[in-house]
A and B are shown apart, each in its own frame.
Chain A
Amino acid sequence: MKKAELRFTGSGGQGVILATIILAEAAYEDKLQTVQSQSYGPEARGGLCKAECIIDEKPITYTKVGLPTLLLSLTQASLDKYVKDLQDDAVIVVDSEITVPEEVKASHKVISIPIIQSAVEVIKNPMAANIISLGAVNEAMKLVSQESLEEAVLNHIPKGTEELNINALHLGAQLVKEQ
């Protein structure tokens, strides 16, 4: 596999950090090399939020994402800020409410899906947006096995929300397939 450099962005409270932790945990379970890190400080408490995960078959030296192979953005502001720095063949996954500039669409594969709307209307829980995103990103990038991903999700969610979150994971993948 090609070294995957993933940047998840949104606003604080959307759970993008947790999504990268779950993904890294699944990758580790799959015996892949992985590192996860995030921005700390005021921006992680309500403002712009950024978390990163690298997945590779070879040992990972430098721990930060240089140019991402994937950008996930759940808010317009986060897309606007981070869309400039991407690898040429990077994939962009965005919520369908976000406006993606035409030149970006022309140069990158853009997957625009109703993440937040589906969380509210289908899963009936806005907090599930991050898990839907995770399902979508894994479907788009084929990073980790479905079993490991589900197990990692179950490690990190409150008791009683298992079914809801697994459904959210599947829904995310489904949205990408249908796109």
Chain B
Amino acid sequence: MAKRFQLLQGNEACVEGALAAGMKFYAGYPITPSTEIAERSAIRLPQVGGKFIQMEDEIAGIAAALGASVAGLKSMTATSGPGFSLKQENIGYACIAEIPLVVVDVQRSGPSTGLPTSPSQGDYMQAKWGTHGDHPVIAISPASVQETYNLAVRCFNLAEKYRTPVIFLMDEIIGHLREGCELIPAEELEIVNRGDHNVTGMPYAVSEGNYVPEFACFGEGEHYNVTGLFHDVDGFPTNNNEIARNAEQRLMDKIDMNLDDILDWEEVGTEDADVAILCYGGTTRAAKGAIEQAEAEGLKVGLFRPITVWPFPDKAVEELSKKVKHIVVAEHNYGQMLGEVKRVAKDNCTVDFIGKIDGTTLTPADILNKVKEVL
């Protein structure tokens, strides 16, 4: 038995959480700063009867993981910036073909090869819009090693429940951080497995009021077709515009109609705050440091942190914008979630930004200074 309490890197906790969720397959390609996820998966998966394969490139990594998922295994692939770009086409394939998959992106500075070992949150918009065409997205971002473990489980659960790729949007700050982590065993967690399939011969049909199709794994006897073309409920391609519209609408509804289940955020001390810091992922640690200092100085500063970063929590942020006078958005980029906040906050409060684009990290002092500026 592995020790229940271990000092782990965020990347290692991601693998342990995935294993607790039932991950049985990993395919990927090495890339800093996500490589530890591949390395630990290579060690751990065969120990639990799972499979690991290092593919010839990033695209093959996600393709093999999708193939394994179609064959019935809970699958994951992990990468960083350049690899995340390469995987985008097949993320769209997973969306339209409705194949459960967890895609981890441990963000690093970009564009292109950028600063391979430096932290960044520059892939926030890419997580949403990276693959072409209209498609729904679920992206989750952890702010500690323990949360990386817990949220890896949640990523798998959401992927299975909604039959969709889930982006685990990590960053170098948390991926390479070592902290204590409780390896909560699967028996003590809520684990979602792929639903029982209908046997109507209509793999993509959904029951009334439901948005998620449930179909069998390959090899179970149903000879259905999986394709990246728009398809009818029988799984076969179509050029019929009405069918295409309905199929696309259901894909969007699948996520939009279940926001209560999918959205998740942390909100601290915003009730009587003058300023709320809005951030996510590793940036949260500096923001919390800033809030500690602010409290010591008698300032009323709250925190709002989306944990599900996509879809964006429109309603909650709108409410926040009515509660506080100022919002400071802190991100390790040029201002990406900032646009979402402005869209939702409108003129309810001021919205300012503090970011970093040089590969260094925001410090509590950086954020506190910005807070003082807007007050």
Indicate yes or no for A touching B, C-beta below 8 A.
Answer: yes
- Decide if A133 is an interface residue (CB 8 Å cutoff): no
A35 touches B177 (CB 8 A): yes
Known: A41-B116, A62-B286, A64-B363. A25 touches B33 (CB 8 A): no
A 21-39 binary contact with B (CB < 8 Å = 1; else 0)? 1001100100001111111
- Decide if A107 is an interface residue (CB 8 Å cutoff): no
User: Bound complex: CA of A62 vs CA of B177, how far in Å?
Assistant: 11
* Contact residue among B176, B179, B289, B364 (Cβ-Cβ distance under 8 Å from A34): B179
A65 to chain B, nearest CB (A): 11
B179 touches A35 (CB 8 A): yes
- Decide if A63 is an interface residue (CB 8 Å cutoff): yes
A21 touches B176 (CB 8 A): no
User: Bound complex: CA of A81 vs CA of B289, how far in Å?
Assistant: 26
B178 touches A24 (CB 8 A): yes
* Contact residue among A21, A39, A61 (Cβ-Cβ distance under 8 Å from B292): A61
* Nearest B-chain residue to A43, judged by Cβ: B117
A34 touches B7 (CB 8 A): yes
Contact partners of A62 in chain B: CB under 8 A: 285-286, 288-289, 363-364
A59 to chain B, nearest CB (A): 9
Contact partners of A33 in chain B: CB under 8 A: 180
A61 touches B7 (CB 8 A): no
- Decide if A46 is an interface residue (CB 8 Å cutoff): no
Contact partners of B178 in chain A: CB under 8 A: 21, 24, 35-37
User: Bound complex: CA of A24 vs CA of B177, how far in Å?
Assistant: 11
User: Bound complex: CA of A33 vs CA of B146, how far in Å?
Assistant: 13
A36 touches B363 (CB 8 A): no
B 299-310 binary contact with A (CB < 8 Å = 1; else 0)? 000000000000
B285 touches A24 (CB 8 A): no
User: Bound complex: CA of A62 vs CA of B289, how far in Å?
Assistant: 5
- Decide if B32 is an interface residue (CB 8 Å cutoff): yes
Q: Is the interface of B mostly helix, strand, loop or mixed?
A: mixed
User: Bound complex: CA of A76 vs CA of B31, how far in Å?
Assistant: 33
User: Bound complex: CA of A94 vs CA of B285, how far in Å?
Assistant: 31
User: Bound complex: CA of A25 vs CA of B282, how far in Å?
Assistant: 21
- Which B residues from 177 to 233 make CB contacts under 8 A with A? 177-180
User: Bound complex: CA of A66 vs CA of B290, how far in Å?
Assistant: 13
Most B CB contacts (10 A, CB to CB) among A21, A40, A61 go to A61
B176 touches A38 (CB 8 A): yes
B75 to chain A, nearest CB (A): 28
Contact partners of B116 in chain A: CB under 8 A: 41
- Decide if B173 is an interface residue (CB 8 Å cutoff): yes
B236 to chain A, nearest CB (A): 49
* Nearest B-chain residue to A39, judged by Cβ: B117
B296 to chain A, nearest CB (A): 13
A66 touches B363 (CB 8 A): yes
B179 touches A61 (CB 8 A): no
B285 touches A40 (CB 8 A): no
* Nearest B-chain residue to A42, judged by Cβ: B117
A40 touches B288 (CB 8 A): no
* Nearest B-chain residue to A66, judged by Cβ: B363
- Decide if B361 is an interface residue (CB 8 Å cutoff): yes
* Contact residue among A28, A37, A61 (Cβ-Cβ distance under 8 Å from B180): A28
Beyond A40-B32, A61-B288, 18 additional contacts (C-beta under 8 Å) are A21-B7, A24-B178, A33-B180, A36-B177, A36-B178, A37-B176, A37-B177, A37-B178, A38-B176, A39-B117, A40-B117, A61-B291, A62-B285, A62-B288, A62-B363, A62-B364, A63-B177, A64-B361
Residues of A within 8 A of B (CB): 21, 24-25, 28, 33-41, 61-64, 66
7 cross-chain pairs, A with B, having the tightest CB-CB distances, nearest first: A62-B289, A40-B117, A61-B288, A36-B178, A41-B117, A28-B180, A25-B7
Q: Can you offer 22 A-B residue contacts whose CB atoms are under 8 A?
A: A21-B178, A24-B178, A34-B180, A35-B179, A36-B177, A37-B177, A39-B117, A40-B33, A40-B117, A40-B172, A41-B116, A41-B117, A61-B285, A61-B286, A61-B289, A61-B292, A62-B286, A62-B288, A62-B289, A63-B282, A64-B361, A64-B363
